[in-house]
């Protein structure tokens, strides 16, 4: 009987410890000189608003050597897909336009009129030309990846753009009737 209890005890300990280690380790960041919530948000691809919330910050002020908890970001597969659509849609546009394209996708995920995931928004039928012409399947460049991280950092701080179009490439009157939020390079952004 004592031998059975010892075996059960030996099996129980690894099971409990596996359950404990299976939870994701918390990511932290030690603040260095000249860092800001913005720079940290871009580095990790996480929202500045989430950084403030998880670290109970009422302001953007940081102290050198302060340790910040880093909230979870989107899955790497979603980040890659988002970077690929940015690369395909905004190739040749300035960097700010690439950030704005990524922001439109993120805004759509948060808007009840659109699907609830990055993948579903991007693959929603008839929404993005690079999906239908296969350009979405090409790898993203470093600038598109950085633009995605910046859009994630600025999430919730923009002007709510849900659409973008190039007026030289479409005569869609429905899009042209939307409220313009900004124009960047060849793209008009609207809601």
Instruction: Find the CATH number of the domain harbouring 53.
Output: 3.10.350.10
- Would you place residue 113 in the very low, low, confident or very high pLDDT band (cuts 50, 70, 90)? very high
Residues 131 and 178 in one domain: yes
What average pLDDT does the chain have?
86
Residues 67 and 100 in one domain: no
Residues 60 and 122 in one domain: no
Distant-in-sequence, close-in-space partners of 63: CB < 8 Å, separation ≥ 6: 31
Rounded distance between C-alpha atoms, residue 127 and residue 148, angstroms: 19
Q: What proportion of the chain, given as a percentage, has pLDDT over 70?
A: 87
Give backbone dihedrals phi and psi of 181, rounded to 5 degrees, phi first.
-100, -35
Residues 155 and 175 in one domain: yes
pLDDT at 2: 41
Rounded distance between C-alpha atoms, residue 91 and residue 135, angstroms: 11
Whether the Cβ atoms of residue 154 and residue 103 lie closer than 8 Å to each other? yes
Query: Does 15 reside within a domain?
Result: no
Read off the pLDDT of each residue in 23-27 and give the average, rounded to a whole number. 62
Q: What's the first-to-final CA gap in the chain, in angstroms?
A: 71
Alpha helices in the chain (DSSP H): 2-22, 37-44, 48-54, 76-90, 95-110, 118-122, 129-133, 142-153, 173-176
Whether the Cβ atoms of residue 67 and residue 28 lie closer than 8 Å to each other? yes
Query: Does 47 reside within a domain?
Result: yes
Domain, as residue range, for 89 = 76-190
Q: What proportion of the chain, given as a percentage, has pLDDT over 90?
A: 66
Enter the tokens of residue 49: 């608003």
* CA angle 12–18–21, rounded 5-degree value: 140
Residues 170 and 87 in one domain: yes
pLDDT at 171: 83
Query: Does 17 reside within a domain?
Result: no
pLDDT at 11: 38
pLDDT at 5: 37
Residues 86 and 117 in one domain: yes
Residues 82 and 103 in one domain: yes
Residues 106 and 171 in one domain: yes
pLDDT at 159: 79
Read off the pLDDT of each residue in 160-167 and give the average, rounded to a whole number. 89
Query: Does 113 reside within a domain?
Result: yes
pLDDT of 123 > 60? The answer is yes
pLDDT of 93 > 70? The answer is yes
Residues 62 and 85 in one domain: no
Residues 82 and 105 in one domain: yes
pLDDT of 58 > 50? The answer is yes
What's the CATH code of the domain at 177?
A: 1.10.10.2520
Q: Domain count of the chain?
A: 2
- 39 or 21: whose pLDDT is higher? 39
Strands in 187-190's sheet, in edge-to-edge order, are: 163-165, 187-190, 180-184
């Amino acid at each position: 009987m004592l031998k059975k209890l010892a075996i059960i005890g030996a099996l129980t300990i690894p099971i409990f410890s596996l359950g404990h280690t299976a939870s994701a380790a918390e990511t932290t960041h030690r603040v260095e000189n000249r860092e800001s919530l913005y720079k940290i948000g871009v580095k990790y691809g996480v929202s500045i608003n989430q950084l403030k919330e998880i670290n109970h910050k009422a302001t953007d002020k940081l102290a050198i050597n302060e340790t910040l908890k880093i909230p979870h970001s989107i899955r790497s597969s979603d980040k890659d897909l988002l970077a690929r659509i940015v690369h395909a849609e905004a190739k040749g546009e300035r960097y700010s336009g690439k950030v704005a394209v990524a922001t439109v996708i993120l805004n759509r995920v948060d808007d009840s009129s659109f699907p609830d995931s990055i993948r579903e928004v991007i693959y929603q039928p008839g929404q993005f030309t690079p999906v239908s012409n296969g350009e979405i399947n090409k790898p993203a460049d470093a600038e598109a990846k950085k633009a995605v991280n910046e859009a994630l950092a600025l999430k919730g701080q923009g002007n709510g753009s849900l659409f973008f179009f190039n007026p030289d490439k479409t005569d869609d009157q429905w899009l042209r009737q939307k409220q313009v939020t900004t124009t960047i390079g060849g793209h008009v952004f609207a809601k």
